[in-house]
């Protein structure tokens, strides 16, 4: 777990000063965190800083993948696609203040695109397929975003809910093409020779198909978080937050609210599309039952638990989503419950844990830690001025 958390820790903490959640504002009463500067060993240049973190995270991810068994590798794949989608959603909801219950459906667009494009004699290169999945999902996202830009709060939730409910239904309607309830089986892409060779020299492990897909998933996650962190740190992220906080003032500053909302939705949808593509590879099946409202709600849960507007939070939330129910089930079985009982009780405990987190850390895990850190700093700064 601790290795797992390293991937986006620094992009997120790099953005820490800029993406303080709204709740942080109230609690930061005594704080004086400099927006720039401060003691840091990281380079000031955003590109260098984020690239450095990216490389460190990539190294950490390789170590993690090579020191664990294939079963765990597969679970990392699950965490990766949840985290990619949650990262996009935390940008939309945390930074821009738009809620979406339709991200599960957007993932379906990416997943079905990937499944269809892989299901041919000579499939295109994987990168091209992923880009196609992203492009198509972005297009759908932009259309939804145009409608969403005019809606607020519960109305927006309702509109995106319609997407979540309606879109998977298409698979049933176009049964011949999209496979109906059974869905489409996704053919695994071939592992390239260099990958097999590389893994053998690196760790001596055999490079199975599962491992190849886990690597693809983690690579997608890292690239996505790199790009999202870039956006969040930049003027683009700042403008999104301004639109979220105070519409009239943002508009008077020359910001076209609609354009920026649609842009946020588009970026978020692009991430969801890639997440869907990765899901198709990891799960090897795209069926309508995988993309119900439950998936959308899980993503929202992940970003809220982790801390809205934080990529690290989205990653931690996604990891909890994957590992917590499993860990609970294992714990139940070790307490002499049979598998069915353990599975049932694990959901109850899972729910209780979620409620407790929301009670005691309403700003999410990352948000609450950040608040505590800011308070600490403020106290120290206060002591210094007094002393």
Partner 1 sequence: MTGISVTFGGIKALTDVSLTVEPGQVHGLIGPNGAGKTTMFNVACGLVRNSEGTITWRGQELRRLRPAQLAGLGIARTLQGVGLFPGLTVLENVMVGAHKHARAGFFSALFAIPTSDRDDARLRERAMTALAELDAADYAGRYPGSLPYPVQKRVALARALVAEPELLLLDEPASGLSEDEMHELGTLIGHLSGRMSVLLVEHHMDLVMRVCDQITVLDSGKQIAAGTPQQVQNDPAVTEAYLGDAVDDTTDVSELAGTDGGTHRG
H-state helical runs in 253-290: 257-283
Stretch that binds partner 1, among 127-135, 225-233, 350-358, 364-372 (CB under 8 A): 225-233
Distance, in Å, from the CA atom of 287 to the CA atom of 297, rounded to the nearest integer, reads: 18
Nearer to partner 1, 22 or 68 (CB): 22
Q: Which of residues 73-102 bind partner 1 (CB under 8 A)?
A: none
Site string for partner 1, 236-255 (x = CB under 8 A): x-xx-xx-xxxxxxxxxxxx
Helix (H) or strand (E) holding 184: strand 184-185
Under the criterion CB under 8 A, does residue 227 sit at the interface with partner 1?
yes
Distance, in Å, from the CA atom of 169 to the CA atom of 290, rounded to the nearest integer, reads: 12
| Min separation Cβ 273 and partner 1, Å | 16
**Plot region of 385 (φ>0 → left; ψ -120 to 50 → alpha; else → beta):** alpha
- Residues 264, 91: contact at Cβ < 8 Å? yes
Distance, in Å, from the CA atom of 65 to the CA atom of 281, rounded to the nearest integer, reads: 17
Distance, in Å, from the CA atom of 50 to the CA atom of 372, rounded to the nearest integer, reads: 25
Tokens of 308: 């809205």
Nearer to partner 1, 11 or 288 (CB): 11
Under the criterion CB under 8 A, does residue 233 sit at the interface with partner 1?
yes
| Min separation Cβ 12 and partner 1, Å | 15
Binding residues with partner 1: total (CB under 8 A): 47
Tokens of 193: 């020779």
Which residues 6+ apart lie within 8 Å of 143 measured at CB?
Answer: none
Nearer to partner 1, 2 or 34 (CB): 34
| Min separation Cβ 16 and partner 1, Å | 12
Under the criterion CB under 8 A, does residue 56 sit at the interface with partner 1?
no
Site string for partner 1, 3-42 (x = CB under 8 A): --------------xx-xxx-xxx-xxxxxxxxx------
Q: Taking Cα atoms as reference points, which of 321, 292, 290 lies closest to residue 304?
A: 321
| Min separation Cβ 98 and partner 1, Å | 15
Under the criterion CB under 8 A, does residue 279 sit at the interface with partner 1?
no
Residues of this chain that interact with partner 1 (CB under 8 A) are 17-18, 20-22, 24-26, 28-36, 45-47, 50, 227, 230-231, 233-236, 238-239, 241-242, 244-257, 263
């Amino acid at each position: 777990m601790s290795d797992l958390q390293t991937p986006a820790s620094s992009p997120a903490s790099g953005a820490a000063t800029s993406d303080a959640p709204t709740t942080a504002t109230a609690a930061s009463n005594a704080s004086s965190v400099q927006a720039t500067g401060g003691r840091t060993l990281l380079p000031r240049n955003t590109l260098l800083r984020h690239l450095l973190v990216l490389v460190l995270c990539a190294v950490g991810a390789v170590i993690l993948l090579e020191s664990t068994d294939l079963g765990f590798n597969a679970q990392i794949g699950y965490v990766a696609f949840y985290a990619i989608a949650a990262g996009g959603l935390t940008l939309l909801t945390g930074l821009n203040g738009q809620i979406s219950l339709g991200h599960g459906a957007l993932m379906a667009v990416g997943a079905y695109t990937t499944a269809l494009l892989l299901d041919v004699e000579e499939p295109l290169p994987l990168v091209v397929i992923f880009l196609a999945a992203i492009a198509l999902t972005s297009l759908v996202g932009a259309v939804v975003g145009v409608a969403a830009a005019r809606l607020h709060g519960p109305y927006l939730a309702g509109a995106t809910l319609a997407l979540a409910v309606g879109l998977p239904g298409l698979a049933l309607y176009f049964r011949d093409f999209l496979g109906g309830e059974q869905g489409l089986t996704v053919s695994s892409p071939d592992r390239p020779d260099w990958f097999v060779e590389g893994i053998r020299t690196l760790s001596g492990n055999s490079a199975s198909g599962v491992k190849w897909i886990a690597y693809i998933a983690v690579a997608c996650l890292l690239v996505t978080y790199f790009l999202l962190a870039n956006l969040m740190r930049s003027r683009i992220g700042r403008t999104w937050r301004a639109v979220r906080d105070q519409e009239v003032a943002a508009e008077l500053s020359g910001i076209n609210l609609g354009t920026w909302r649609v842009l946020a939705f588009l970026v978020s949808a692009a991430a969801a599309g890639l997440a869907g593509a990765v899901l198709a590879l990891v799960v090897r099946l795209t069926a309508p039952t995988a993309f119900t409202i439950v998936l959308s709600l899980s993503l929202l849960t992940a970003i809220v638990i982790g801390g809205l507007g934080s990529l690290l939070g989205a990653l931690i939330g996604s990891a909890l989503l994957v590992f917590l129910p499993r860990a609970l089930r294992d714990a139940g079985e070790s307490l002499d419950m049979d598998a069915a009982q353990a599975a049932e009780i694990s959901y109850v405990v899972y729910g209780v844990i979620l409620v407790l987190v929301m009670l005691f850390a309403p700003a999410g895990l990352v948000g609450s830690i950040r608040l505590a850190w800011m308070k600490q700093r403020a106290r120290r700064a206060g002591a210094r001025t007094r002393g």
